[in-house]
């Protein structure tokens, strides 16, 4: 089966020991695109969030680098191929277990202001990972993602409240 891209939305609260869970929908797609349990994470170059993708994107990044260089040369613009390559290939390969648990590297947590939960949003070739308060600060073109994030946060809060009432036991 070929990789069909990343779509959908999900929320993952922070777990114990600084771990997060890659939601099932995204976990399945990362496994397909990495031929295993490797999540690639990088800071998004324009937004205050992270990007996630599978290892299959490496070849695509090399092709992107070539296109950007060709475009710059055609416009007689300077292009620092080494700097751009460092930006594109500066991602971190993070292993995750069968349940999707992974540890977020501290430098990425800091860069994206990761706090006590992650909002995941599909974007085709990659997905974005947001601190919900950072997403709230984006403009009106983000209202659909913001609404989905708010809904998922409300569901997570209700689930946590229900779990607290039952003494942490599953019903």
SS3 45: coil
Strands across the sheet containing 50-53 = 9-13, 117-122, 127-130, 50-53, 38-43, 92-95
Question: Residue 171: what pLDDT?
Answer: 42
Query: pTM for the whole thing?
Result: 0.86
CB burial string 38-70: b at 16+ within 10 A, e below: bbbbbbbeeeebbbbbbbbbeeebeeebeeeee
| Residues 6 or more apart in contact with residue 47 via CB below 8 angstroms | 128, 138
Note the CATH architecture for domain 9-165.
3-Layer(aba) Sandwich (3.40)
The rounded distance, in Å, linking the Cα atoms of 163 and 142 is 31
Q: List the chain domain ranges.
A: 9-165
Question: Residue 161: what pLDDT?
Answer: 83
Q: What is the pLDDT along the chain (171 residues), one digit of tens a residue?
A: 466 789 999 999 988 877 899 999 999 999 988 878 999 999 998 999 999 999 988 888 999 999 999 999 999 999 999 999 998 899 999 999 999 999 999 999 999 999 889 999 999 999 999 999 999 999 999 999 999 999 999 998 888 888 767 665 544
Pairing mode of beta strands 50-53, 92-95: unpaired
């Amino acid at each position: 089966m070929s990789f069909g891209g990343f779509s959908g939305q999900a929320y993952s609260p922070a777990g114990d020991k600084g771990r997060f869970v890659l939601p099932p929908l995204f976990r399945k797609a990362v496994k397909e695109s990495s031929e295993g349990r490797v999540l690639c994470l990088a800071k998004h170059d324009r937004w205050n969030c992270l990007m996630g993708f599978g290892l299959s994107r490496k070849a695509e990044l090399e092709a992107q680098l070539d296109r950007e260089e060709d475009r710059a040369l055609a416009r007689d613009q300077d292009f620092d191929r080494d700097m751009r390559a460092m930006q594109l290939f500066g991602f971190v390969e993070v292993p995750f277990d069968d349940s999707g648990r992974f540890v977020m590297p501290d430098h990425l947590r800091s860069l994206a202001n990761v706090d006590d939960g992650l909002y995941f949003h599909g974007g085709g070739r990659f997905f974005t990972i947001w601190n919900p308060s950072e997403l709230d600060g984006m403009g009106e073109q983000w209202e659909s993602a913001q609404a989905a994030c708010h809904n998922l946060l409300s569901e997570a809060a209700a689930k946590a409240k229900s779990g607290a009432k039952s003494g942490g036991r599953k019903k």
